[in-house]
Amino acid sequence: MTDATAAERPIRAKGALRRLAERPLALFGLFLILLVVGGAVLAPLVAPFDPSEQHFDGLTIEGAPLPPGGAFLLGTDLLGRDLFSRILWGARTSLIIGVAANGLALVIGTLVGLTAGYFRGWIGAVLMRFTDLMMAFPALLLAICLAAIFQPSLWIVAMVIAFVNWVQTARVIFTETSALSEREFIAAERTLGAGTARILFRHILPHLLPTIIVWGTLGISTTVLLEATLSYLGVGVQPPTPSWGNIIFENQTYFQSAPWLVFIPGAAILLLALAFNLVGDALRDVLDPTQRGRD
């Protein structure tokens, strides 16, 4: 890699940031992400109550949840717990699982796709057939089965989601690596005696970084939705640990009489997934070489 190429990196990064800042939807998505991350990080300071604390004044005389307002900003749930505090702490769960599971899936998918795309032959065939086999299983059904087999916990759920979510990344990385392996500069490196590790990690992987960044951003929304689905079905993060999915699960019986208990965590899931999709789409346009020069 030449010094000129290294010197161009800051310039390209500035250009990418400038093009990203020119997209209002991307900025809106970034604002939502920062808002949720800030709320999750500052939950111990911002949350007015302990998320598991049951308040004697948190239920009506009839034993129904309190509506939003007063001491309880978003109302209370069926056990008299403050919904606002549980939403803030639930954001922590969703973000930890979203980032951890997607990061692990990204690493697995990148390694599988990179190896299969570069070596090809029987190694690539075995890895890609295994990838196809994993893609043949419905991801949600496989995740439910795995989560039911193991004792559900935050990190177990993250690993289960990562295990079913790496296949799309592997497919994309395999395709791009196969094309890059045939390029002249890779053939020149082989001729000069460069080792496999140097070619993979010094010459091919840097060209895949834009794709990895985009898929990493878009994948977080998928993992957040999958975690919420598993928690709603009762095989995800278990109570009393708050999660947006299990908040909906616990309060679904009050859907008609206290709809805010379902709509508020549902809206949080929707907005966070939308935010990562908006930022991911913008990054794809900004980092895609075919889009450069069209702005």
Residue 2 pLDDT greater than 80, yes or no: no
Overall domain count for the chain: 1
Cis peptide bond N-terminal to 138, omega within 30: no
> Angle at Cα 58 formed by Cα 54 and Cα 63, nearest 5°?
100
Supply the mean pLDDT for the chain.
Answer: 84
> Angle at Cα 131 formed by Cα 128 and Cα 136, nearest 5°?
130
Question: According to the model, what pLDDT value does residue 174 have?
Answer: 92
143-153 residue pLDDT tens: 888 877 887 77
Q: What is the CATH number of the domain that holds 142?
A: 1.10.3720.10
Q: Which domain holds residue 116?
A: 37-42+82-289
Q: How many CB atoms lie within 10 A of CB 198?
A: 13
**Is residue 141 domain-resident?**
yes
**Is residue 220 domain-resident?**
yes
Residue 135 pLDDT greater than 90, yes or no: no
Find out whether 225 and 234 touch, Cβ atoms under 8 Å.
no
Residue 25 pLDDT greater than 80, yes or no: yes
Query: Nearest-CA neighbor of 97 among 199, 230, 202, 284?
Result: 230
Residue 8 pLDDT greater than 70, yes or no: no
**Is residue 273 domain-resident?**
yes
173-186 residue pLDDT tens: 999 998 888 888 88
**Is residue 188 domain-resident?**
yes
Which string of b and e fits 135-164 if b means at least 16 CB within 10 Å?
eeeebeeebbebbeeeebebebbbbbbbbb
Which parts of the chain fold into alpha helices (H)? 3-21, 24-41, 43-46, 83-119, 121-136, 139-149, 154-165, 167-181, 184-191, 196-198, 205-232, 244-251, 260-287
**Is residue 144 domain-resident?**
yes
Q: Considering the entire predicted model, what is its pTM?
A: 0.83
**Is residue 23 domain-resident?**
no
Neighbouring residues of 59: CB distance < 8 A, sequence distance ≥ 6: 65, 66, 76, 80
Residue 11 pLDDT greater than 50, yes or no: no
**Is residue 295 domain-resident?**
no
Higher pLDDT among residues 10 and 26, named by residue: 26
Find out whether 30 and 275 touch, Cβ atoms under 8 Å.
yes
Residue 6 pLDDT greater than 50, yes or no: no
Using pLDDT thresholds of 50, 70 and 90, give the confidence band for residue 13. Answer: low
Question: According to the model, what pLDDT value does residue 293 have?
Answer: 42
Q: Which amino acid is at 33?
A: I
Using pLDDT thresholds of 50, 70 and 90, give the confidence band for residue 218. Answer: confident
**Is residue 243 domain-resident?**
yes
Higher pLDDT among residues 182 and 101, named by residue: 101
Taking the CA atoms of residue 180, residue 183, residue 187 and residue 189 in that order, the dihedral angle to the nearest 10 degrees is -70
